Amino acid sequence: MSRSRSDEVFAAAQTLMPGGVNSPARAFGAVGGNPVVIDRGEGAYLIDVDGNRYIDYVLSWGPMILGHCHEKVSAAVHAAVDRGTSYGAPTEAENRLAELIVSAMESVEKVRLVNSGTEATMSAIRLARGYTGRDVVVKFAGNYHGHVDSLLVAAGSSAATLGVPDSPGVTSGCSQDTMVLAYNDSQGLVDAFSEQGERIAAVIFEPVVGNMGCVIPSDEFLAALRQQTEAQGALLIVDEVMTGFRVAYGGAQERLGIRGDLTTLGKVVGGGLPFAAYGGRADIMDHMLPVGSVFQAGTLSGNPIATAAGAATLEILRDEDPYPRLEELSSRLERGLSAAATDAGVDHSITRVGSMMTLFFNPDPVTCWDQASRCDKEHFARYFRGQLERGVYLPCSQYEALFLSAAHTEADVDATIASAAAALE
């Protein structure tokens, strides 16, 4: 497969942007070689600037649950563009999307629309601190909540992939009120609350982790999160940027039967446009300015094009309910990948929740960062490159989940399994 044009474009990009990318997750730092430069998306596929076609399991790192260029989403975006691209004033379109979010997610009574997952988590943390009058925030090693200074500590995703889980530039002042615990360690959480409970404003967590690969919380851990925060007057922030409208229409909270005080959303909720949101109990959300006094603002917040894409996407998900089919398709891929790895004699474990999944090059089930960090990353890199050469576009890190879309077919999945078998040999 030739990618000469891709290499040319990327060489130019490196002279213009640090590392040639606008987000380090896209650099192939952990797998070697140059990133593929994309020309366009079509349903479940990406086509690069050399004309090569790939089955896409990155899906823009999650948002494109309907596949690329869904007819109705594209039509909604075109119609919105024709009415103006930004007004910086209230619109009916904001109500429409806010209403969809509030009806989908039981724990969200009021919502604020913003532009990125980072902005959503940053604002939710500020609100939690403003509401409780406390400073400390608990997060879990290997969870990633965007590049918020105070949360860029023991962070997953590209921060872990590229070796900066604690980034330079984050001052000790910013991170001194962040307490890092191990995911799925219920006792650790109980101990932290018994020692520092009165100082803890919030616990933020990924209800299904996607940013150290796909990792599932135990029932015991979920129960401890709710009990400890409730008993000690701290807020539970469920970071559903990756899982919201992805693992179920009502997100991980619906799927796992949990309820947070605040929820952060991004990715699917914006239908592929820069859009995110945070919301939760009305009495907490009303602490935001202009009702309350916690500050957060944004020129492009609730942008009409982004809200059009988001609302169209959610309406399709609500009306067409692709989740049962996504479950079947994803389970077929899980079984096929696992069988291919077993047949090739590769030590592995595989974790899946709905249409997000990770094949870990680790014989043990991965339940926390300690275990995730022990994966054979060299082997992952060889597998990644083998799949890419065969036209399968996977996340370029062992510490990211792959995603399926409603546009994927059984034939795509079977082709992926066949190419995995060849790549794993």
Question: Which residues are part of the catalytic machinery?
Answer: 144, 239, 267
Identity of the residue, 25 or 66, whose beta carbon is nearer to ligand HOZ in the bound complex: 25
Neighbours of 156 (CB within 10 A): 27
Q: Give the binding range for ligand HOZ (CB under 6 A) out of 18-26, 45-53, 97-105, 355-363.
A: 18-26
Size of the site for ligand HOZ (CB under 6 A): 9
Q: Give the binding range for ligand HOZ (CB under 6 A) out of 8-16, 19-27, 196-204, 325-333.
A: 19-27
Query: Helix, strand or coil for residue 366?
Result: coil
Neighbours of 133 (CB within 10 A): 8
For the bound state, the minimum distance from the C-beta of residue 236 to ligand HOZ, rounded and expressed in Å, comes to 21
For the bound state, the minimum distance from the C-beta of residue 114 to ligand HOZ, rounded and expressed in Å, comes to 15
Identity of the residue, 146 or 304, whose beta carbon is nearer to ligand HOZ in the bound complex: 146
- Per CB under 6 A, 151 contacts ligand HOZ: no
What span, in angstroms and rounded, lies between the C-alpha atoms of 202 and 138? 6
Q: Give the binding range for ligand HOZ (CB under 6 A) out of 22-30, 134-142, 307-315, 403-411.
A: 22-30
Identity of the residue, 20 or 304, whose beta carbon is nearer to ligand HOZ in the bound complex: 20
Q: Which of positions 389-408 make contact with ligand HOZ (CB under 6 A)?
A: 400
φ, ψ dihedrals at 353, nearest 5°? -130, 115
- Per CB under 6 A, 126 contacts ligand HOZ: no
Cross-strand pairs, 211: 213
Q: Which of positions 265-324 make contact with ligand HOZ (CB under 6 A)?
A: none
Task: Name the burial class of residue 257, with classes exposed (0-12), middle (13-18) and buried (19+) by CB atoms within 10 angstroms of its CB.
Answer: exposed
Amino acid of residue 408: H
Residue from 23, 95, 176, 187 in contact with ligand HOZ (CB under 6 A): 23
Q: Are 325 and 294 in contact (CB under 8 A)?
A: no
Q: Residue 81 is encoded by which pair of tokens?
A: 């563009």
Residue from 52, 184, 211, 330 in contact with ligand HOZ (CB under 6 A): 211
- Per CB under 6 A, 17 contacts ligand HOZ: no
Identity of the residue, 189 or 216, whose beta carbon is nearer to ligand HOZ in the bound complex: 216
User: Which helix (H) or strand (E) is 208 found in, with range?
Assistant: none
Residue from 107, 116, 157, 301 in contact with ligand HOZ (CB under 6 A): 157
Amino acid of residue 39: D
Task: Please give the full DSSP string across 329-356, using - where no structure is assigned.
Answer: HHHHHHHHHHHHHHHTT---EEEEETTE
- Per CB under 6 A, 26 contacts ligand HOZ: yes
Query: Helix, strand or coil for residue 392?
Result: strand
- Per CB under 6 A, 61 contacts ligand HOZ: yes
Q: Are 275 and 115 in contact (CB under 8 A)?
A: yes
- Per CB under 6 A, 28 contacts ligand HOZ: no
Strands 136-140 and 200-205: parallel
- Per CB under 6 A, 25 contacts ligand HOZ: yes
Task: Name which of 225, 255, 230 is nearest 242 in CA terms.
Answer: 255
Strands 53-56 and 392-393: parallel
Identity of the residue, 26 or 408, whose beta carbon is nearer to ligand HOZ in the bound complex: 26
Contacting positions for ligand HOZ (CB under 6 A) = 23, 25-26, 61, 144, 157-158, 211, 400
